[in-house]
């Protein structure tokens, strides 16, 4: 994804820091275990260690850059993982054209739970890795691929673990897990449409005719130690009630240290296409930091986005928050 820096100055001027919007939302999640909350759990607990293992499994393939053997092996594994825990799995294969003129074979996956329920929630993550570590502090490494433990194996891992632990018979909604390809082949500082190629394809070729879930939630970089999820600009423009509901759920579960109650910048990511092309209100849960050169987590688009940067506490905060959100949806 790319950050729209022109928006940042604008947003920064408007930031109001609110200590905690929910008086019951204790800020204990910095060192919290995944079982930290005292709120009732209506479903099987999300297992952060299992999610961590799912991040590791993706990294074991190597960087999942489109049109590489590692990408192909991971695709086979993703299909199997979704098949284990979803009622139906659709593979969407296509060829897209990149900004640098490549014809790229891509695969999107849609794993559906309770496919006949008309009231649906869309959960999204990209599964590809960026071909170039062009934010690495060492220019000699800019041509190397990104391992993508956080960007974006973490989001995929949280969604796969959610699929595994959801008590299907007690879930009153239908859930679609969309794993999109070729998000991160974009041109840094270039055309915004060079990003999110898999999502662009899906948005114009939905897996179900007239697909219309109530809302969508995109996870991107949701596993790093000390993650900070701010209320991203486009998410608030298109789906503020979803943002506020999710953040309130996090606060009640004791995860306000991760889900910060303040405005973030505007990010070009898969959710923009889902809002503007598919017409589905969709938010982005993404790690935005102050004090880094990128505005994202410190190892964004570097060769150091590796498994050792992943913290199960962060995966647990996101997974448990989503599990509770789904239970109350």
Q: How far is the CB of 200 from Zn ion (least distance, A)?
A: 16
HSE at residue 122, side-chain half, CA atoms within 13 A, is 31
Cα separation, 177 vs 82, whole angstroms: 9
Q: Which residues contact 224 (CB under 8 A, 6 or more apart)?
A: 150, 154, 287, 297, 299, 309, 310, 311, 314
Q: Which residues pair with 284 in a beta bridge?
A: 218
Q: How far is the CB of 296 from Zn ion (least distance, A)?
A: 8
Binding site for Zn ion (CB under 5 A): 151, 184
Q: Which residues pair with 177 in a beta bridge?
A: 111, 123
Q: Nearer Cβ to Zn ion, position 136 or 151? A: 151
Q: How far is the CB of 130 from Zn ion (least distance, A)?
A: 5
Query: Given 3-state DSSP classes, what are the helix, strand and coil percentages for the chain, each rounded to the nearest 5?
Result: 35, 20, 45
Q: How far is the CB of 283 from Zn ion (least distance, A)?
A: 18
The alpha carbon dihedral of 206, 124, 275, 216 has a sign of positive
Q: How far is the CB of 144 from Zn ion (least distance, A)?
A: 14
Q: What angle do CA 47, 51, 57 make, to 5 degrees?
A: 145
How far apart are the two ends of the chain, measured CA to CA in Å? Answer: 28
Kindly write down the DSSP assignment for every residue of 151-218, as one continuous string. IIIIHHHHHHHHHHHS-GGG--SEEEEEEES-SS-PPTTS-GGGS-HHHHHHHHS-SSTT---SEEEE
The Cβ of residue 83 has, within 10 Å, a number of other Cβ atoms equal to 13
Classified as helix, coil or strand, 10 is: helix
Q: Nearer Cβ to Zn ion, position 184 or 270? A: 184
Q: Nearer Cβ to Zn ion, position 176 or 184? A: 184
Q: Which two tokens stand for residue 199?
A: 């999502």
Q: How far is the CB of 129 from Zn ion (least distance, A)?
A: 8
Q: Nearer Cβ to Zn ion, position 184 or 232? A: 184
* Dihedrals phi, psi of 147, to nearest 5 degrees: -65, -35
Q: Nearer Cβ to Zn ion, position 256 or 314? A: 314
Q: How far is the CB of 322 from Zn ion (least distance, A)?
A: 21
Q: How far is the CB of 145 from Zn ion (least distance, A)?
A: 12
Q: Nearer Cβ to Zn ion, position 305 or 326? A: 305
Q: Nearer Cβ to Zn ion, position 155 or 316? A: 155
Q: Nearer Cβ to Zn ion, position 181 or 184? A: 184
């Amino acid at each position: 994804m790319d950050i729209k820096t022109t928006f940042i100055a604008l947003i920064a001027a408007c930031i109001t820091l609110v200590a905690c919007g929910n008086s019951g939302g204790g800020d204990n999640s910095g060192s919290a275990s995944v079982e930290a909350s005292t709120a009732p759990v209506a479903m099987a607990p999300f297992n952060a260690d299992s999610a961590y293992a799912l991040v590791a499994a993706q990294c074991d393939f190597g960087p999942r850059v489109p049109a590489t053997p590692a990408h192909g092996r991971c695709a086979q594994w993703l299909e199997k993982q979704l098949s284990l825990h979803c009622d139906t799995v659709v593979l969407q294969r296509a060829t897209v054209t990149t900004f640098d003129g490549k014809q790229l074979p891509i695969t999107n996956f849609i794993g559906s739970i309770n496919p006949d329920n008309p009231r649906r929630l869309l959960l999204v993550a990209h599964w590809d890795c960026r071909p170039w570590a062009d934010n690495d502090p060492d220019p000699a490494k800019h041509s190397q691929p990104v391992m993508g433990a956080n960007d974006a194996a973490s989001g995929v891992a949280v969604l796969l673990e959610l699929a595994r632990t959801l008590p299907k018979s007690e879930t009153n909604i239908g859930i679609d897990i969309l794993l999109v390809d070729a998000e991160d082949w974009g041109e840094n500082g270039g055309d915004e449409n060079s990003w999110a190629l898999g999502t662009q394809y899906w948005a114009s070729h939905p897996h179900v005719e007239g697909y219309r879930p109530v809302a969508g939630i995109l996870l991107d970089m949701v596993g790093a130690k000390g993650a900070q999820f701010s209320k991203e600009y486009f998410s608030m423009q298109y789906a503020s009630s979803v943002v506020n509901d999710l953040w309130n759920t996090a606060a009640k579960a004791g995860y306000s240290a991760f889900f910060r109650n303040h405005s973030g910048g505007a990010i070009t990511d898969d959710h923009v296409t889902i809002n503007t092309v598919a017409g589905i209100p969709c938010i982005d849960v993404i790690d935005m930091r102050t004090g880094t050169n990128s505005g994202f987590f410190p190892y964004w688009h570097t060769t150091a986005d590796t498994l050792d940067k992943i913290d199960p506490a962060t995966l647990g905060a996101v997974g448990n928050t989503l599990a509770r959100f789904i239970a109350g949806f």
